[in-house]
Amino acid sequence: MTKTASLADLVLPAALWAEKDGTFTNTERRVQRIRKAVEPPGEAKPDWEILTLLAQKMGFDWQYRDPSEIMDEIVSLVPLYRGISYQRLEKGWGLSWPVPSHDSMGTPRLYEDLKFKTSSGKGRFNLVHYRPPVDVPDAEYPLYLTTGRHGFHWHVGSMTGRSPTLRREYPYPFFLMNPEDMKKYQLKRGQKVKIVSKRGEIEAFVKPGEIRRGVLFMPLHFPEAPVNVLTPSVMDPLSRMPDFKGAAVRLEKSHEIS
């Protein structure tokens, strides 16, 4: 049970990726087969079966017997998938849509033939006018904090945080700082520091890193130091994306790691 799931009225028993058959489509547009390696535990079911049962409870006559039938329906409705089938996906590394016919090998690279078109004609490029972030460093908050990921944890560590091996690599929340800035602020590697913005504060351990002076970088994987409490709760008016990737901050010394 994760903190997010604990807020739900109903938690459905979904099988993991290794416990189900089906396909994955990545951001390369590559459709690949996956095959069940182990049986799902308890009442856990694959996603397609959960959705089918929910649809039946709502009065829809969904009668899928396995995920290949769902793929057949997608192929019948989506021209970009027209040439994809489970039989074709059995060997090799999958197919990248568009796959317009059964003898097509897919489209590894889009728009090579310059047929980049939209419903209103050819694709159009638009100028984007730069606007500064909501938070900019000033005398009270002189540093700029940016957030991101590292290779050993995923999101807020609901799964990776349970792994002793992954926790051994990064057992506690940290942020990277330019070594010259560390000298300026009289900080040592492994020292616990309070990071303060206009919206809140957290504590993390400082590490030297190859990062521009005046800038801090902190991963977002540690629920004990939720870095997003520091960032602005405003959204871009066009993309509707929240401005959670940066904030003006100051540092306050805490205590050293034991």
Highest mean pLDDT among 145-149, 193-197, 245-249: 193-197
- Kindly report whether the global pTM for this prediction surpasses the value 0.75: no
pLDDT of 120 > 70? The answer is: no
Whether 251 contacts 193, CB under 8 Å: yes
CA dihedral sign of residues 214, 220, 226, 229: positive
Q: Which of the residue ranges 33-42, 73-82, 148-157, 226-235 would you say has the lowest mean pLDDT?
A: 148-157
Return the CATH number of 143-256, one of 3.40.640.10, 1.10.287.610, 2.40.40.20, 3.90.1150.10. Answer: 2.40.40.20
HSE-up (13 A, CA, CB side) for residue 76: 6
Q: Which amino acid is at 31?
A: V
Q: How far apart are CA 53 and CA 170, in angstroms?
A: 41
Q: How far apart are CA 159 and CA 179, in angstroms?
A: 32
Specify burial of residue 225 (Cβ count, 10 A radius: 0-12, 13-18, 19+).
Answer: buried
DSSP state letters, 48-73: HHHHHHHHHHTT------SHHHHHHH
Question: What number is the average pLDDT over the span 154-162?
Answer: 79
pLDDT score recorded for residue 245? 84
- Top-level CATH class of 7-113? alpha beta
Q: What angle do CA 18, 24, 25 make, to 5 degrees?
A: 160
Distance of CA 121 to CAs 60, 78, 113, 115, 118, Å?
38, 21, 15, 10, 5
Question: What number is the average pLDDT over the span 65-86?
Answer: 91
Q: How far apart are CA 150 and CA 173, in angstroms?
A: 12
Highest mean pLDDT among 84-93, 189-198, 243-252: 189-198
Of 45, 92, 100, nearest to 67 by C-alpha is: 45
Give the position of tokens 């004990």: 224
Does a cis peptide bond (omega within 30 degrees of 0) precede residue 67? no
Per-domain residue ranges of the chain: 7-113, 143-256
Of 148, 139, 144, nearest to 214 by C-alpha is: 144
Q: Which of the residue ranges 14-18, 41-45, 90-94, 142-146 would you say has the lowest mean pLDDT?
A: 90-94
Whether 202 contacts 225, CB under 8 Å: yes
